[in-house]
Amino acid sequence: MSSENDLYVAWLYIEPASLNWGNIELSKSFDGGVTFQESQFINSDGNYSTAAPGKITLPVIRFDQHDRLYVLWADGFDEGQNSFDVYLRYSDDYGDTWSERLRVNPTVQGDQWNPEMIIGTDGRLHIIYYDEQDGSYRPYYRTLTFTGDEYDSPVFGTPIPITDSLTSSSFTRPGEYMGIQLDSDGVPHIAWSDGRNDEMDIYYAHGIVETASSLEPVIILAGASVIASVILIVCVVLYIRKHQRVNVTN
């Protein structure tokens, strides 16, 4: 929702005939959701995504404090790599025109998918996503700040692994969502699921400093199913949002 209380909705469109699983559509409403404008094809510049078990990614849309609109998603734009990458586009005119796509993950080998983000009061984007390399994957955290007179020069932070533990790629569906929130000090709090113990469990980590140069995972629930994982991640994010800061001890 923009500062003018206009509604924006983005979704993943699946073409049944071609099994193209990656078309990102966006529509907006100026009458409180009674009617919506014709949808826009956000990644029409080249989406080569095909069915990837467990890696269907829902788009993320956010407004910053200046009403810049961001869309974050994953697709197979780089056809030569035959893999998923995480991309970002932004609009400074409420979705009428869009920037060129920016690739969030620096490594193009393997799949990077399932992104989520939150925007700080300073305009910095805090992005998380799964990164798969050599038959295993784990979640990563990366920041993005725009500089310059038009705020159109992207400056990425160093990608930081949220955990040292790896999950075998045999776990093809770690859960549709990860969760990230910032507390009142701008410290990121992150919840995700992984299979380090040969089962999908829920984990939580928080940044020690603002740049999250150190993250300490703490297990929340052992032996959770994927469905329970998704529900619990949502609950954790809502709890963080309500209480702003969580004190965790190992």
Minimum mean pLDDT among 118-127, 162-171, 177-186, 209-218: which range?
209-218
What is the residue-wise DSSP string for the chain?
A: --TT--EEEEEEEEETTTTEEEEEEEEEESSTTSS-PPPEETTTT-------TT-----EEEE-TT--EEEEEEE---GGGTS-EEEEEEESSTTSS-PPPEE--S--SS-EEEEEEEE-TTS-EEEEEEEEETTEEEEEEEEEEEETTTT-EEEEPPPEES-S--EETT-----S--EEEE-TTS-EEEEEEE-TTSS-EEEEEEBSSTT---B--EEEESS--HHHHHHHHHHHHHHHHHHS------
Predicted confidence (pLDDT) at residue 48 exceeds the cutoff of 50: yes
User: Which domains can be identified in the chain, with CATH numbers?
Assistant: 7-243 (2.120.10.10)
Minimum mean pLDDT among 18-22, 30-34, 231-235: which range?
231-235
What is the reported pLDDT for 1? 76
Predicted confidence (pLDDT) at residue 232 exceeds the cutoff of 60: no
Specify the pTM. Answer: 0.81
User: What is the pLDDT confidence band of residue 134, given thresholds at 50, 70 and 90?
Assistant: confident
What is the reported pLDDT for 230? 39
